[in-house]
Structure 1
Amino acid sequence: MITTLRPQRGLTQADPGPMTAEPLLTDNVITVPIGNGPFAVAITPDGRHVYVTNETDGTVSVIDAATLSVTATVSVGSGPAGAAITPDGSRAYVTNENSNTISVINTATNTVSATVSGLSAPIGVAITPDGRHAYVVNNGAGTVSVIDTATNTITATVSVGSGPTWLAITPDGRHAYVANFTSNDVSVIDTATNTVTATIGGFNGPLGVAVTPDGAHAYVTDFSSNAVRVVDTATNTITGTTAVGTNAFLVAFTPDGLTAYVTNHASSTVSVIDTTSNTVTATIGVGNAAAGVAVTPNGLAAYVANHDSNTVSVILTLNAVSPNHGSTAGGTVVTITGTNLSGATSVQFGTRQATIIGDTPSEITVISPPGTGTVPITVTTLGGTSNPKPFYYISPPTVTSLTPASGPLTGGNLLTITGTNLATAGKVTFGTAPVTPTVVSNNEITVTAPPGASAGPVLVTITTAGGTATLTYTYVAAPTISGLSPATGPTSGGTTVTVSGTGFSSTDQVTFAGILAPFAVVSDGEISVVTPAGAAGPADVTVVTAGGSVTATGAYTYTAPPGI
């Protein structure tokens, strides 16, 4: 028995509460409420219906793939585990692990038309490509039973390894690969003679197995080593290992064989493997205790049974779009990630077609066409059209003010830029010097001015997803003081003093011994100041401008009036 691999049947489960009538969409995964303890998934050849075994309920749920709603519930034996559908789509074979039987469901009426007994804790089941035989794993006996689907009788029994769990039949129907969990090996059955012709070792808890559509490789989930091992079916040797999530469970391929989906039972995730490189290209979160997985005939979705969540996750083709926004003028380079994307014939942004500049099974790069508003991105391959992902067209920015409009050559001062369509501002350049802005709102950003190369105006360019906008900022050199005239005066103040120097045009304040003095800018090299009252003795004179400040130490002397 493999009950140690998943929750024990009969355990009390939390009440899932009322089931929602609508599936829940989160990013690229749709969650569909289902029966209790969903375990295996099988999809009809036309892709219209999905059959899910509910281990705890003793039922099979039938999902309409178009509406993602459960349209029928079929009572079967106790502890239904595996499921397989005949090539003509007319029957579903469901293993009942506790009842030691198989229920044969008529898919036209969704009723049980036959029950096959004489099995021992059956789990995995697979149908030969010609539909004439069903091969069933007997976990309790260490055997595989061969059922004649015309008579629904057992015609042969093949001894395999210890604790067999799952099996897969090659596309030519000549061999069946059986994962033996307890003996840590895989048995290869010749279906013509129903004898084991090879035993492949080197596993650590092999649980699930699937054969690529071209028949060249078998992928085996190694539950205890958290990996998938790749078997060359020509030599029956392990040629590769790919690390996945915790407790790799079952595996399924897209029709083109370029992508494998692996459920990770303890991680509650699905690893997406690029079979050309045998690397994981994505890890997708699903429900608790991910178990069975099946891919639609068009390769545009994968269905995952979540045993402990009582749900089925539907993983859609497109996972992400980056960036998900761009200019209304078009021309944005956009990367679309997902699965089964190779051979894309078109990528649509709403009704407009994008230019494809790169295409792999897991990633497409395009140049966005012109557009406005929010539009759906879809990818079309020979298998059909993907799920949509939103793309947001951003209008070009406008700028109305830059405050302050000038600052010191050393930079470092905080500036505020106002305008419109600034929410996606990612860069601001002062001449050729780039800085990163802080977005306050769609109408305001702030930025710290970088150091300037020389005094004078520079072009400030604000770059957003919608385009660019410009205005001018002026770098101001720090002021200098060369002299005061007169340099002395009474402590009562009121003396008009001419301060000579450079960089006075943007003077903000003048102080004598720290006391503000009224002033007037005569020219860039001259300020006229009226001294405030002060204590007798030398006083520091400070001039503050947009370019900084300068202090002439003790440059002015206050003199006390004579005493009698």
Structure 2
Amino acid sequence: MTKKLSALALLVAASLSGCAAQHAAKPTPAPEAQTTVTAPAETGVLKRELADGLYEMVLSPKGDALYVASSEGFKDVQGGVVYKLDPTTLKTIGRSHTDLKNFALAISPDGSTVYATNSLDGGISAINTADGKVKKRLLFTERNKEGFPYGARQVLLHDGTLYIGGVADPAVVWVVDAETLKLKKTIKNAGQWVTGLLWSEQTQRIYVANGGGEILIINPRTNRIEKRWKPLGDKPALLLNMAEDKATGRLFVTDNSKAKTTLVLDIHTGEVLKQLDVGDSLAVKFNAKRNELYISQRESGKLLSLDATTYAVKQTWELPPNPNSLLLSDDGQTLYVTVKQAFNKDHSTNGPDSVVRISLK
């Protein structure tokens, strides 16, 4: 277990990122943790301490529920939780207790199913949003040289198919039927650690970031890798998260580990259009409605808003200690952030992680 947790600690620090029985509680309201406004009310910033091990979030298609993945603790804690929050007040309106730990999330177009990756166990779970129960699960068979499962990190739902990045060296991308959770194909030779996935509306391709500094382009019709880019060449890079500006054909890619930058690429050619020297960069979101770019900075404890044309910093939010994942509402007027506590040597933390809601109006 110690080796397993050590491998997971490395995986989750980079951020995000079927067979087992499941006993999930019906999503009934939970006792409220303290909710505090971290700035004057007119700033529109609401922060709630929620639970240990918070990672990615997803909004329901109707915008009436915010789902937050939690691995819970890594020290002497089994299983995790998917929290269902009111997206305006951040109050708990439901929760699903799971026997495996949860990291990345996706949701079906009709809102009936939330998909959660179970990184420690190398799997994907489909959770029924009506009752909070895990209705299907797929555990992948690949093992690394130590005998541990490949970490199932990011998940992308496109056209009834789940694309799930496997953290290994060489890595894989699993292609899974979203309805049946049956494995359709394993895309191999995906470099070192698949860390990010993005569907491009402009090119109709899937983009894959990895820890070897590569961007892979997958054709979803054939599920084959068509191109491999290495935008920084031989310079060390651990590319993580991506966002697209479909109007201009720009692809934004972050690195908070080695290059500590945000790259602006031509989404058709991979050409580096700009390298943003704003410091360590983790999650990234592009807001077409406001022409803004949002970047979380895990090490400095900040969230930046940039003008997406000039790349000038418009606003900075202090969100210590470690802002992590970002989620943007469909109308472009609300931004959600998970804020993590630092890990201690024994994989414990000094307090619960938080969810932050920022009104951009």
Instruction: Give TM-score scaled by structure 1 length.
Output: 0.51
**Alpha-carbon separation, structure 1, partners of 2:137 and 2:248:** 31
- Unpaired runs of 5+ residues, structure 2, are 1-6, 16-30, 74-79, 142-149, 342-351
**Alignment correspondent of 2:332:** 299
1:70 correspondence with 2:100: no
Alignment of 1:518-529 (within 5 A): none
Count of residues paired in the alignment = 306
Structure 1 residue 254 displacement after superposition: 2.3
Structure 2 residue matching 1:240: 3-state secondary structure: strand
**Alpha-carbon separation, structure 2, partners of 1:7 and 1:43:** 24
**Alignment correspondent of 2:354:** 311
1:236 correspondence with 2:270: yes
**Alpha-carbon separation, structure 2, partners of 1:8 and 1:177:** 19
**Alpha-carbon separation, structure 2, partners of 1:4 and 1:34:** 23
**Alpha-carbon separation, structure 2, partners of 1:257 and 1:133:** 30
Structure 1 residue 173 displacement after superposition: 7.8
**Alignment correspondent of 2:120:** 98
Instruction: State the one-letter code of the partner of 2:274.
Output: G
**Alpha-carbon separation, structure 1, partners of 2:99 and 2:332:** 31
Q: In the superposition, relative to structure 1, how do residues 45 and 245 fare at CA in structure 2: closer, same or farther (>3 Å)?
A: farther
Q: In the superposition, relative to structure 1, how do residues 108 and 279 fare at CA in structure 2: closer, same or farther (>3 Å)?
A: farther
**Alpha-carbon separation, structure 2, partners of 1:118 and 1:229:** 32
**Alignment correspondent of 1:35:** 51
Answer whether contact 1:172 1:215 (CA < 8 A) is retained.
no
1:138 correspondence with 2:166: yes
1:174 correspondence with 2:208: no
**Alpha-carbon separation, structure 2, partners of 1:303 and 1:124:** 18
How far does the alpha carbon of each residue in 1:405-434 deviate from its partner, in whole angstroms, 9 at most, with x for none?
xxxxxxxxxxxxxxxxxxxxxxxxxxxxxx
Structure 2 residue matching 1:228: 3-state secondary structure: strand
Alignment of 1:538-557 (within 5 A): none
Answer whether contact 2:172 2:186 (CA < 8 A) is retained.
yes
**Alpha-carbon separation, structure 1, partners of 2:132 and 2:264:** 37
**Alpha-carbon separation, structure 1, partners of 2:153 and 2:210:** 12
Structure 1 residue matching 2:100: 3-state secondary structure: coil
Structure 1 residue 190 displacement after superposition: 1.1
1:256 correspondence with 2:311: no
Answer whether contact 1:296 1:302 (CA < 8 A) is retained.
yes
Q: In the superposition, relative to structure 1, how do residues 71 and 139 fare at CA in structure 2: closer, same or farther (>3 Å)?
A: same
Instruction: State the one-letter code of the partner of 1:305.
Output: T
How far does the alpha carbon of each residue in 1:367-396 deviate from its partner, in whole angstroms, 9 at most, with x for none?
xxxxxxxxxxxxxxxxxxx3xxxxxxxxxx
**Alignment correspondent of 1:49:** 65
Answer whether contact 1:42 1:51 (CA < 8 A) is retained.
yes
Structure 1 residue matching 2:282: 3-state secondary structure: strand
How far does the alpha carbon of each residue in 1:215-244 deviate from its partner, in whole angstroms, 9 at most, with x for none?
822211112222111121122222111122
Structure 1 residue 255 displacement after superposition: 4.8
Higher fraction of helix: 2
1:195 correspondence with 2:238: no
Answer whether contact 2:240 2:253 (CA < 8 A) is retained.
yes
**Alpha-carbon separation, structure 1, partners of 2:179 and 2:89:** 33
Structure with higher Rg: it is: 1
**Alignment correspondent of 1:431:** none
Answer whether contact 1:242 1:279 (CA < 8 A) is retained.
no
**Alignment correspondent of 2:20:** none
Higher fraction of strand: 1
Alignment of 1:258-337 (within 5 A): 258-308=291-341, 309-317=352-360
Structure 1 residue 117 displacement after superposition: 1.5
Answer whether contact 1:161 1:186 (CA < 8 A) is retained.
no
Structure 1 residue 310 displacement after superposition: 0.9
**Alpha-carbon separation, structure 2, partners of 1:211 and 1:219:** 6
Q: In the superposition, relative to structure 1, how do residues 257 and 197 fare at CA in structure 2: closer, same or farther (>3 Å)?
A: farther
Structure 1 residue 86 displacement after superposition: 2.1
**Alpha-carbon separation, structure 1, partners of 2:185 and 2:102:** 22
